[in-house]
Amino acid sequence: MPPVISYAFTPISGYAYLGHDRLREIARSAGASVEFRPFDIGQVFAAAGTVPPAKQSPARLAYRQADMTRWARRLGLRFNATPKWWPVDATLASRTIIASEMMGASPWAVTAAILAGVWADESNIADGAQLASLLENAGIAAAALIDAASCDEVSARYASNTAWAIETGVFGSPTYVLGHDLFWGQDRLDFLAEGLGREQSKPAPPVAVVTGGAMDPLK
């Protein structure tokens, strides 16, 4: 079976924006599947005792902004280190991403558009009209996704993602989970790629065949 990466994040995360395209390329190169797990960052921060970035010291916040700007420059991404609409409630955007996966749309494209909306295009992703507009501008049919975002099944998945993140030990965004290993931050993507390489190099489990009524492993 192909390896599975759990992509745990909030769509208001600047570091998720910086790592999104590289995660997709790493997964594609390794033949890995990715399960999207947007979660409630407020609940995760509270459970982990993490101070939200917006409430950190001015020195820490300034460093964070400078660090993200350096990364964006290196990656060739449009980026605004002090977006007008950050932080905002990410519930609607998170549920829209979940809805996209459940409805057979591309969560990659939906997530990319939302992340860029925050960090490059000055969009308020907590506002339904602005969220729909940025998705439509990216060529994504938004109305059905945003409608579905309020359904009980999507709401339950969002709550489940959040509970899973807390139980798994996630404390920030983005976190990439491979097996029992957590990789926090887009600057750990190289370690994720190494982990995928180890998964690929593992020998396949022995295949069992029936011989005379007994199960014997092939050698």
- In whole numbers, what is the pLDDT of the chain averaged over residues? 92
Q: Give the model's pLDDT for residue 7.
A: 98
Strands of the sheet with 181-184, listed across from one edge? 33-38, 4-9, 175-178, 181-184
Asked if the model's pLDDT at residue 215 lies above 60, the reply is no
Residue written as tokens 């065949």?
Answer: 209
Amino acid at 25: E
**Domain coordinates of the chain in residue numbers?**
4-217
Tokens representing residue 43 in the block:
């609940």
Asked if the model's pLDDT at residue 209 lies above 80, the reply is no
Taking the C-alpha atoms of residue 200 and residue 96, their distance in angstroms, rounded to an integer, is 33
Place 201 in a pLDDT band, splitting at 50, 70 and 90. low
pTM metric for this prediction: 0.90
pLDDT digits (tens, 9 = 90+) for 44-84: 999 999 999 999 999 999 999 999 999 999 999 999 999 99
Helices (H), 76-215: 91-102, 107-119, 128-137, 143-148, 152-168, 189-201
CATH number of 4-217: 3.40.30.10
